[in-house]
Structure 1
Amino acid sequence: MIKRPLFALTLLALGATQALAATPAVEKTPHIEQLQFVDQAKRKLAVDVAQMLNDPSFSHLLSEKLQGQREVMINPLMSEYRQRDPMNIAKAEAADTLQAMDLATRQHKGITAYSKGLLQVRMVAPQGMSTENVDTSNMLVAFEPAGDDKHWKEVEAYDRFGNVHKLDAKVQPSMPVLVADINGSEDLRAGVAMMNEAFKSRGWGGLNVRPRAGYVETTKLEKIRLATDEEPWISGKAEVYALVSGINPSEEKPTIAVVDMPYLDYANTDYAPNQLVLFWSNYRYAAANLQLFEHDDNTNYQDLVVAIVSGVEKILLAFKPEFAAIATVAGAILQAMPAHWFSNDDDYIDSFYTLEKGKTYTDYKGVGGNAMMTLKPYRLREQ
């Protein structure tokens, strides 16, 4: 087996970062210079995977891993690809390149310490088509266009010979297509962990359960429904999270917690998660805000935390920590998020301002009308 020292892999990651904007095997498209880092990584992944389909051992391995499922992570896939022919230098280099690009992507997003892999290949197939005995050798490999999906007209895809194909962004192809992507659920899981730790390190953290009289006062999310436009066929499931904010109960500072909602996959669907989303011992005045966002592939979580902290601190300097400041914290969060981090208009979903402790909200709509929730008080008893 060919092994590379750590400094060599680090150089590979740096090389992967520099190589994303240009891919020799495929002619540059006019818009490529405007793509953000993760968009470029997904394009480079699509080109490389398409070229690797020329190798029967790779296409057989990929077909094997996609049996009965729709996605496979790049890091373990490349490790197994290398292990099956450990003395093949060309295969080792191809595997190293993609794994280094995965590392560069995690570094760019600020979650290297929280995730072991983000890049993936998933298959989009016509409804009802079985993924058993699938042959990937001649499939096209596509990647999501950048920008607002409402304006997507074409999707670029590559074949194993390096040719570019233009697919209709609105009409799903009649044949299965591979999509080079990042795993949104893994990205968001790692990002939520990173952000919560960063907020807690500043004394802004939430989700600190402090039992009183043998129980904790919470609010449970019993039902939620999103109402947004239909996603294009190339897009995966939605990855939604909530920022819950308010005023610290004992200090003149805000409290912010990030809550993952991994079950919330599709719009126009009722979900009944019974998820605890508000722990009232964290909030002064028995009131808090809840804002919903959809995960964006290009989000740098470290930069996002810095922007939120800076923006909230700046705005709150003009307010005393009183009841009226609760909604101000939520407004500061929205203002702190630079537009270029959220290239898709659907990334901000909705806001629920000044939710109150002990109150039931039934089919309660957010201010934007894009989300509806049922929230009920719940006493979490200490064991």
Structure 2
Amino acid sequence: MSVRKQLRTAACGLALTGVLVATAQGPATATPAASGPAEVSPVAAAEDAAARALARSLADTAWRAEAGRAVVRGGETGLAALADGARSRAAAPLAAEAAAADRSVLAAKGLGAGTGGLLTVSLTGDVDSRRAPLVAVAPSDDEAGAVTAYDTAGRLHTLSATEAPEVPVYVVGVDGEKAVEAGMAVLERELAAAGVSTAAAPAPAAAAAGTAATGFWTSRITSVRLADDKETWIKGDAEIFSIVSGFGLDGKVRVDTVTHPYLNDAGTTYYPNQILVNWSQYKYNLADTVMMEDDGDTNYSALAKAIAAALLTIADLGAYVPLVDPVVDAIPSSFWTDDADFVDAWYTLARETTGTRDGAGGNGRFTFDRYWVSAL
């Protein structure tokens, strides 16, 4: 858990031990709830529907107190689980709407029902305030200056996207860490099905035998730091993953995915000692890395199809060809709003690369060492 999340959770306990007054005094004039933009993503629409349902349910003071205690205990709580486990009857309509919204999110992200519920609720803003809470969803556009929030009467409030509000705000969002973990499995599985070598595809028998007998060299991340994690106050921790690409032992383009669940906050140096590249899987001693951040709307199935379509046109001509540009160019244009944000890229990492390497965009910094993984 990040320091920011720990402080938020502790403050929530202080805010909700008292009784919140019934009238929310938001930083903007309340207006009747209005429909959202004409075109919104399916995930954003599901989040908005769930936020409205939660706001309406919190009109019941007993349920509001119960929900507040549950969120404080967990910091971030599954919305469907919260509603399903409620003692108050006022949560029953919320349970049905949360389940429907979760199904919509899973479908929109290209994930199966076995992933489980992804919608969560957390508390942020001025949690010491005794004003009634609002319920908000992060904007679908990273450049948006405003956040839409609802009160228990269904009235709409406009909050700044760059400054934390002066009222407690329940935030309905997507469990990014869970989504990324499931999404990486989908990404590798669908890339493999399309003919791109991945960890989901069996390694050539000779390579597997050689690795089992000896071991293999890796590039290990000893430290990493981001200048900007592409997140606003309302979204909390970032959900970062990397796409490592090169040419496999069979001469075909290969893609491996790496998640960075610890990489929560910009301006903080992390020391994960995490393996980024397993060189026993690559024909050349060079590979490229594209680091991305899941902002909620990422459809991993669509992302896999786009990357596969671009990479399968690249042939091994006996010399290494950098793959960063094809990967980045393959990302659908919609992904540059609130889908998988581009964080940074590292061209032509070598098996011998050690020390500090800044990303091409100047946003990320890795420090590497060479690490030998011995066979058992």
Q: Decide whether aligned partners of structure 1 residues 247 and 26 sit closer, same or farther in structure 2, where only a CA change above 3 A counts.
A: farther
Gapped regions of structure 1 (runs ≥ 5): 1-24
TM-score (norm. length: structure 1): 0.81
1:139 aligns with 2:145: no
CA–CA distance in 2 between the matches of 1:50 and 1:155? Answer: 15
Structure 1 residue corresponding to 2:366, chosen from 370, 373, 378: 373
Cα distance change on mapping 1:173 and 1:256 into 2, 3 Å:
same
Aligned residue in 2 for 1:169: 161
Correspondence 1:102-117 to 2 at 5 A = 102-117=102-117
Deviation of residue 26 (structure 1)?
5.7
C-alpha separation between the residues in 1 aligned to 2:113 and 2:192? 17
After TM superposition, list the pairs within 5 Å mapping 1:15-30 onto structure 2: 27-29=33-35
Aligned letter for 1:302? S
Tell me how far apart the structure 2 counterparts of residues 230 and 280 of structure 1 sit (CA, whole Å): 30
Query: In structure 2, the residue corresponding to 1:260 is in which secondary structure?
Result: strand
Q: Is the 8 A contact 2:41 2:297 kept in 1?
A: yes
Partners of 1:115 and 1:351 lie apart in 2 by 29
The equivalent residue for 2:261 is 262
In the TM superposition, residue 32 of structure 1 has moved relative to its aligned partner by 1.7
Is residue 334 from structure 1 mapped to residue 322 from structure 2 by the alignment?
Answer: no
2:296 is aligned with 1:302:
no
* Offset at residue 366 of structure 1 (A): 1.1
Output one character per residue of 1:253-300: Cα deviation in whole Å (capped at 9) or x when no partner: 210011110000011111100001110011111111111011121111
Deviation for aligned residue 1:218: 1.0
Q: Separation in 2 of the partners of 1:340 and 1:313? A: 22
What residue is the counterpart of 2:244 in the other structure? 244
1:81-125 residue CA offsets vs partner (Å, 9 max, x unmatched)? 2xx36xx6x754431221121012102211124510100111114
Q: What is the RMSD computed on CA atoms of the aligned residues?
A: 2.5
- 1:235, CA displacement in angstroms? 2.1
Secondary structure of the 1:67 match is helix
Q: Secondary structure at the match of 1:43?
A: helix
Instruction: Give 2:70's match in structure 1, choosing from 57, 65, 69.
Output: 65
- For 1:92 and 1:171, the matched residues in 2 are separated by 34
Contact 1:286 1:356 in 2 (8 A): yes
- 2:192 maps to which residue? 200
Structure 2 residue runs without a partner (length 5+): 1-30
**One-letter amino acid matched to 2:81:** P
| Number of positions where the alignment pairs a residue of Structure 1 with one of Structure 2 | 338
**Mapping 1:205-354, distance limit 5 Å:** 205-206=198-199, 210=208, 211=211, 213-228=213-228, 231-251=231-251, 253-314=252-313, 316=314, 319-325=315-321, 327=322, 329-344=323-338, 347-354=341-348
Q: 1:222, CA displacement in angstroms?
A: 0.5
- Residues 342 and 296 (structure 1 numbering): CA distance in 2 closer, same or farther, change over 3 Å? farther
Q: CA deviation at 1:67?
A: 2.5
Distance 1:74 1:346, change over 3 A: closer
Gap change, CA 1:333 and 1:120, over 3 Å in 2: same
TM-score norm. by structure 2 comes to 0.83
| 1:79 counterpart residue number | 84
Deviation, structure 1 residue 40: 1.3
Q: Percent identity?
A: 28
- 2:148 pairs, out of 156, 170, 175, with 156
1:72 shift after superposition = 0.9
Which whole-Å CA distance do the structure 2 matches of 1:369 and 1:245 have between them? 20
Distance in 2 between residues matched to 1:287 and 1:193, nearest whole Å:
24
Residue identity matched to 2:274: Q
Once the two structures are TM-superposed, the CA of residue 346 in structure 1 deviates from its matched residue by 8.3
TM-fit CA distance, 1:374: 0.6
CA contact (8 A) 1:244 1:258 kept: yes
* One-letter amino acid of the counterpart of residue 215, structure 1: G
Distance 1:382 1:64 in 2: 49
